[in-house]
């Protein structure tokens, strides 16, 4: 039995192409011999490999150079993060963050000159960079004049913005989002920032202060109502829009004239 099976296995292996026909006896297995005549076992393998790799590297470097040739800038100082520094057509970092100084200046000039014609699409690129800057400047100027009112400023701003947003959407057919409402109210706070700067020099708790505060309320209200009616096409309802807006800026004027926290702290003592 064992002899037949061995003969069958030997007969099958003799006809198989995977086995040598005349295997040498007592010949050691040799998979790789690092001899001088290496080309006899692997003819031209290493040279062809190096040649192919060299060709591929040259093609890859050529394609990269063709795709990005001459547009990559060398790394510089920390200020390069605020430029285009990279690929051609890449926007600056401030523009990606939504901070555009040219738009801030244009909207500020519209507020400072309320008698000029206000375009309907002025708030298509609404942003909060300018309003947050003006709110912060107003609070810092009041702080320098001895009136730390940061909590009241942001509280009045938040409550007033939500109230104006609700009123405008109830009055208009077109509607407006809260982002644009906050942007308009923040930009139109710029005359009130000027009153805060005056409060650092002189005391506003007098006739001059009352007059400046009244003028700033009228200025801010006229500018904000003009932008709102231009965007929402509500020119016949400007007085109705200006009334709640004037009440909001009146609260900011009271903060610039009186020290709200002083009376409470004094009574506590």
Question: Does a structural domain hold residue 168?
Answer: yes
Instruction: Tell whether 217 is covered by a domain.
Output: yes
Residue 92 lies in a domain: no
pTM (global) more than 0.85: no
Q: What is the pLDDT of residue 17?
A: 52
Query: What pLDDT sits at residue 258?
Result: 85
pLDDT for position 267: 40
Tell me whether residue 46 is in a domain.
no
Lowest mean pLDDT among 40-44, 146-150, 238-242: 40-44
Average pLDDT taken over every residue of the chain? 74
Q: What is the pLDDT of residue 35?
A: 53
Per residue in 109-155, pLDDT (tens digit) is 888 888 888 877 777 777 888 899 999 999 999 999 888 888 899 89
For residue 193, is it within any domain?
Answer: yes
188 within 8 A of 227, measured Cβ to Cβ = yes
User: How many domains does the structure of the chain reveal?
Assistant: 1
- Residue 143 pLDDT: 92
Evaluate whether residue 149 is within a structural domain: yes
Helix 190-201 and helix 238-257: axis angle, to 10°? 20
């Amino acid at each position: 039995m064992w002899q037949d099976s061995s003969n069958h296995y030997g007969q099958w292996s003799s006809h198989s192409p995977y086995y040598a026909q005349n295997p040498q006896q007592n010949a050691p297995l040799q998979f790789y011999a690092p001899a001088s005549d290496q080309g006899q076992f692997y003819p031209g393998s290493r040279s062809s490999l190096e040649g192919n790799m060299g060709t591929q590297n040259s093609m890859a470097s050529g394609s990269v150079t063709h795709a990005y040739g001459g547009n990559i800038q060398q790394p510089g100082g920390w200020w390069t993060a605020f430029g285009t520094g990279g690929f051609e057509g890449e926007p600056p970092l401030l523009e990606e963050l939504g901070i555009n100084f040219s738009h801030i200046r244009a909207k500020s000039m519209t507020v400072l000159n309320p008698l000029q014609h206000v375009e309907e699409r002025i708030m298509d690129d609404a942003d909060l960079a300018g309003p947050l800057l003006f709110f912060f400047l107003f609070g810092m100027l009041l702080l320098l004049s001895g009136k730390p009112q940061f909590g009241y400023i942001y509280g009045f701003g938040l409550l007033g913005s939500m109230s104006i947003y609700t009123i405008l959407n109830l009055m208009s057919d077109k509607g407006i989002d809260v982002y644009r409402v906050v942007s308009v109210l923040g930009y139109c706070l710029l005359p009130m920032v000027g009153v805060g700067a005056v409060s650092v020099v002189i005391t506003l708790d007098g006739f001059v202060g009352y007059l400046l505060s009244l003028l700033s309320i009228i200025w801010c209200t006229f500018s904000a109502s003009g932008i709102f009616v231009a965007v929402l096409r509500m020119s016949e309802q400007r007085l109705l829009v200006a009334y709640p807006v004037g009440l909001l800026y009146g609260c900011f004027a009271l903060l610039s004239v009186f020290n709200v926290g002083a009376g409470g702290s004094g009574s506590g003592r």
